[in-house]
């Protein structure tokens, strides 16, 4: 305990960095509170090291609380936007370009199934394709193969 009180600034900075590492590495930026508190602890530790904040419990706790609030107010929206960002590009997979023969006729309103790797996939098309026609996979979605005539 004496080690922590004699090195309060270094202890605060270390604890803040530890919280930031836990937030990013372990929790994957899923919650922001550890980010805000970690940043506040680093700033408060730096202020203690420069003797702008005395090495006493109340001023340190108050400084951490104030900076946590400031970081939350400033960083909440940008971090939330960063967290909700989605990839919109299509992923090319091994099924695209694969060819097979249809068992049943399909059109824009109906579909059939095709067994592939032990999974029954829904086969869909934007236009009518007769049974027995050779088709090529042009796109995939969850459980669906979109095809067109080969």
Least confident among 1-5, 26-30, 75-79, 98-102:
1-5
pLDDT at 3 over 70: no
Neighbours of 72 (CB within 10 A): 17
* Number of domains comprising the chain: 2
The average confidence (pLDDT) of the chain is 88
Specify if 92 maps to a domain: no
**Averaged pLDDT for residues 105-112:** 88
Specify if 145 maps to a domain: yes
Alpha-carbon distance 88 to 114, whole Å? 27
Question: Nearest 5 degrees, angle CA 122-CA 125-CA 127?
Answer: 150
Alpha-carbon distance 4 to 13, whole Å? 12
pTM above 0.75, yes or no: no
Alpha-carbon distance 27 to 64, whole Å? 22
In sequence order, which ranges of the chain are alpha helices (DSSP H)? Answer: 2-6, 8-21, 33-49, 57-83
61 pLDDT tier (thresholds 50, 70, 90): very high
Same domain, 35 and 103: no
């Amino acid at each position: 305990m004496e080690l922590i009180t004699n090195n309060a600034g270094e202890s605060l900075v270390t604890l803040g960095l530890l919280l930031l590492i836990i937030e990013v590495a372990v929790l994957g930026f899923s919650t922001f509170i550890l980010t805000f508190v970690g940043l506040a602890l680093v700033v408060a530790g730096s202020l203690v090291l420069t003797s702008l904040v005395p090495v006493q419990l109340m001023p340190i706790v108050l400084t951490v609380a104030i900076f946590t609030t400031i970081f939350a107010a400033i960083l909440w929206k940008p971090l939330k936007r960063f967290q909700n960002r989605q990839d919109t590009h299509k992923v090319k997979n091994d099924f695209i370009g694969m060819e097979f023969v249809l068992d049943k006729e399909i059109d824009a309103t109906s579909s059939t199934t095709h067994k592939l790797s032990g999974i029954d996939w829904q086969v869909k098309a934007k236009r009518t394709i007769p049974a027995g026609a050779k088709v090529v996979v042009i796109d995939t979605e969850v459980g669906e193969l979109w095809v067109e005539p080969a």
